[in-house]
């Protein structure tokens, strides 16, 4: 395959991408990667100030992005935001359902509100955005949806009951959506990161009352002997968003340095 062919398959010019949780971590890196390959990016995040900064940085580097403050747990806000994205960009071709939170507790320790928060942000948010964006994708001839799962969506983990449940739900939601919407030329896939150096991972150390440095070292204990970087995950999302993966749907791509091997 020539470089020209590869460039063509990765060319996202004319595409519109929506990234939830796009103001930091994996979402921020992915928004930048999609913009670098020509996509117009709508950054959705509950943190409006950080979202605006992320969009400004992409625009300053020659890309095109706009931020939209959105609480993905709110049906009303999701519907209004998708309407605003359509008015701004005309449609949606790529959706990265990435917003998520974690609470490092067992089911005994969890408060009901904590369980609801993890489920609502990580799983309900993906449902709500997909509900309103899939009709736009179908009207435009198809598209690609990428959901953020986790290694802990495929196996259990300690003191993370709600997170494990939500991410396992995300894995099977991906498969169900791929079956339902393939006829509309909409591909749906799931990327499952291992421990990645993000604010979310560092917050886990605080929740567990562990030394952050020691926690990060232990999190890097895998065959490739390092933590993931947000760009590692962004590259996987880029593949699933692009024409490099035109016959890939309903798949689960583990990106974890061999941690589940």
In tens, the pLDDT along 107-134 reads 999 999 999 999 999 999 999 999 999 9
User: Is 156 part of a structural domain of the chain?
Assistant: yes
Tell which phi-psi region holds residue 240, choosing left (phi > 0), alpha (psi between -120 and 50) or beta: alpha
User: Is 185 part of a structural domain of the chain?
Assistant: yes
User: Is 40 part of a structural domain of the chain?
Assistant: yes
Selection from 203, 198, 102, 199 nearest residue 157 by Cα: 102
Residues assigned a catalytic role: 163
Structural tokens at position 57: 């940085």
User: Is 117 part of a structural domain of the chain?
Assistant: yes
Selection from 195, 191, 193 nearest residue 245 by Cα: 191
Selection from 78, 123, 94, 116 nearest residue 31 by Cα: 94
Structural tokens at position 170: 């995300």
Angle at 180 between CA 174 and CA 186, to 5 degrees: 75
Nearest-angstrom CA–CA distance, 12 and 139: 18
- Whether pLDDT at 1 is above 80: no
Question: Which one-letter DSSP state was computed for residue 124?
Answer: I
Beta strands in the chain (DSSP E): 16-20, 40-45, 64-69, 94-97, 143-148, 186-193, 252-255
Whether pTM exceeds 0.85: yes
User: Is 199 part of a structural domain of the chain?
Assistant: no
Identify the helix (H) or strand (E) that includes residue 2: none
- Residue 226 near residue 199, CB atoms below 8 Å: no
- Whether pLDDT at 149 is above 80: yes
Counted domains in the chain: 1
Say what the pLDDT of residue 187 is.
98
pLDDT in tens, 167-206: 999 999 999 999 999 999 999 999 999 999 999 899 998 9
pLDDT in tens, 53-105: 999 999 999 999 999 999 999 999 999 999 999 999 999 999 999 999 999 99
Residue-number span of the structural domain to which 143 is assigned: 3-194+229-250
- Residue 132 near residue 86, CB atoms below 8 Å: no
| Helical residues (DSSP H) of 90-160, grouped into ranges | 112-119, 125-139
- Residue 65 near residue 39, CB atoms below 8 Å: no
Say what the pLDDT of residue 89 is.
98
User: Is 157 part of a structural domain of the chain?
Assistant: yes
CATH number at residue 116: 3.40.50.720
- Whether pLDDT at 2 is above 70: no
Selection from 73, 67, 109 nearest residue 88 by Cα: 67
User: Is 218 part of a structural domain of the chain?
Assistant: no
Say what the pLDDT of residue 8 is.
74
User: Is 44 part of a structural domain of the chain?
Assistant: yes
């Amino acid at each position: 395959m020539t470089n020209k062919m590869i460039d063509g398959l990765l060319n996202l010019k004319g595409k519109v991408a929506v990234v939830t949780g796009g103001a930091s971590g994996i979402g921020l890196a992915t928004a930048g990667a999609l913009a670098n390959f020509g996509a117009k990016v709508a950054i959705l995040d509950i943190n409006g100030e950080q979202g605006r900064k992320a969009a400004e940085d992409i625009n300053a580097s020659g890309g095109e992005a706009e931020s939209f403050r959105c609480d993905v747990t709110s049906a009303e806000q999701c519907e209004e935001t998708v309407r605003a994205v359509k008015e701004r960009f005309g449609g949606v071709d790529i959706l990265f359902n990435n917003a998520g939170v974690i609470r490092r507790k067992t089911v005994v320790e969890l408060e009901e509100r904590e369980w609801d928060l993890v489920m609502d942000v990580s799983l309900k948010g993906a449902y709500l955005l997909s509900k309103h964006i899939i009709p736009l994708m179908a009207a435009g001839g198809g598209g690609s949806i990428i959901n953020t799962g986790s290694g802990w969506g495929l196996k259990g983990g300690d003191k993370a009951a709600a997170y494990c449940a939500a991410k396992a739900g995300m894995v099977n939601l991906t498969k169900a959506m791929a079956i339902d919407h393939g006829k509309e030329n909409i591909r749906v896939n799931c990327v499952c990161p291992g421990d990645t150096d993000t604010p979310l991972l560092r917050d886990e150390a605080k929740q567990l009352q562990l030394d952050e440095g020691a926690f990060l070292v232990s999190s890097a204990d895998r065959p490739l002997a390092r933590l993931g970087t947000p760009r590692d995950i962004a590259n996987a999302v880029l593949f699933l968003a692009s024409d490099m993966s035109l016959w890939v749907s309903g798949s689960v791509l583990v990106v974890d340095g061999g941690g589940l091997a």
